Structure 1
């Protein structure tokens, strides 16, 4: 369907439906499991988990959706947010500093995860309970929700047709040319990225694999003429 083509390169109706099913199961099961095992059953879910679920189930190949990105990114972000919330700053200054600090720490630790910004922001806007020192009311849900969501995503993607944690190899049941031999190296990819001066939500290894497969298809097309 043309409706789904502009969203993401490679996206199709099947993948969107799979993502919807995954998000439904992931969020539901994570919330139910958390409510059963946590000493702080409410809230069973924190809002940024919805954004984590979008990445995990809709774009599981994204570097931003990998297990360390989700768990590490959300956990360090809640810590940064709670720390910033203790500073004697105006609320808006705390909010901006919390998100900025979360981005910095996630980048250093190689676990950049966009919902982490929302986690950090939630910490400084959490209200009187957290302000009074009850940090566990936010930290525990964030940590357990993240771990549970990744565990559910790992199991779900065993059957979704996508590799997770993602590896830059063709999915086994896909009909792709055997043993593509790209002339483009990772160093070439790095130079091209430097030329463009942009950051893309795809790994270097995936780009090299994509270019290799594209070259293989181009050669097959030329031979067929």
Structure 2
């Protein structure tokens, strides 16, 4: 039964623990509550049209703060750029059903080119396309304000919150403070090795290259300690190739 449970219901995110999930729940509770209060104060609309994307952003900021998709520029830039893309698309293609697909596709392209890919940005672009035809120009400004303000507030809260959670945010490739790590020198792996391995696999992973180097270094150190061998020593310093 335990094997079936682990196979079917274990977390898919590597490294996630119950403590991490509880910390994420607390952060998201505070972040989304602040977003709701902000929306009530700055938006004239009774229905929080752009609340869903902020909820998705909160999951990334508090549950996976090491993800490149959760970094400050990804959250603020991704949501803002997707908002602009949605407005531009609906101006050129006023029929919402037809505008939805190009809005999301162009939002992905714009976020990728500007280095701020953020999954909730797709929801921002879609929400903008669906809501914009019913709004006047002044309404559109009031519609856009909550997503921009809440994106900034969410990043600020994430920065303050993770000062106490033990995780770095904005993320830096360093071990989590409250987890014990073996005092070993870095592994003999450089960025060029990681880049070549990623090219061999042909996949895109939601983890920074620097974190991959740190992970592999720690894995080698643990393997060396388990086997009773000296920890591997890097033949050259870890640096970008």
Compute the displacement of 1:29 (Å).
1.7
CA displacement 1:167-199 (0-9 Å, x = unmatched)? 001123321012431111111111100111000
Matches of 1:189 and 1:146, distance apart in 2: 32
Question: What residue number does 1:11 align with?
Answer: 16
Q: Bigger CA drift: 103-112 or 6-15? A: 6-15
1:176 corresponds, among 156, 175, 181, to 181
Compute the displacement of 1:206 (Å).
0.2
Question: What residue number does 1:56 align with?
Answer: 61
- What pairs up with 1:73-88 in 2 under 5 angstroms? 73-88=78-93
Question: What residue number does 2:223 align with?
Answer: 218
Structure 1 residues 136 and 126: alpha-carbon distance in aligned structure 2, compared to 1, 3 A threshold: same
- What pairs up with 1:128-207 in 2 under 5 angstroms? 128-130=133-135, 132-133=136-137, 134-207=139-212
Matches of 2:169 and 2:133, distance apart in 1: 39
Give ranges in structure 1 of 5+ residues lacking alignment. none
Task: Report whether the alignment pairs 1:65 with 2:70.
Answer: yes
Task: Report whether the alignment pairs 1:123 with 2:128.
Answer: yes
Compute the displacement of 1:8 (Å).
0.8
Matches of 2:186 and 2:196, distance apart in 1: 20
Q: Bigger CA drift: 45-54 or 56-65? A: 45-54
Question: What residue number does 1:100 align with?
Answer: 105
TM-score when normalising by structure 2: 0.85
RMSD between aligned residues: 2.0
Matches of 1:199 and 1:57, distance apart in 2: 22
Question: What residue number does 2:36 align with?
Answer: 31
Q: Bigger CA drift: 59-68 or 3-12? A: 3-12
Q: Bigger CA drift: 94-103 or 121-130? A: 121-130
Give ranges in structure 2 of 5+ residues lacking alignment. 230-241
Matches of 2:128 and 2:184, distance apart in 1: 48
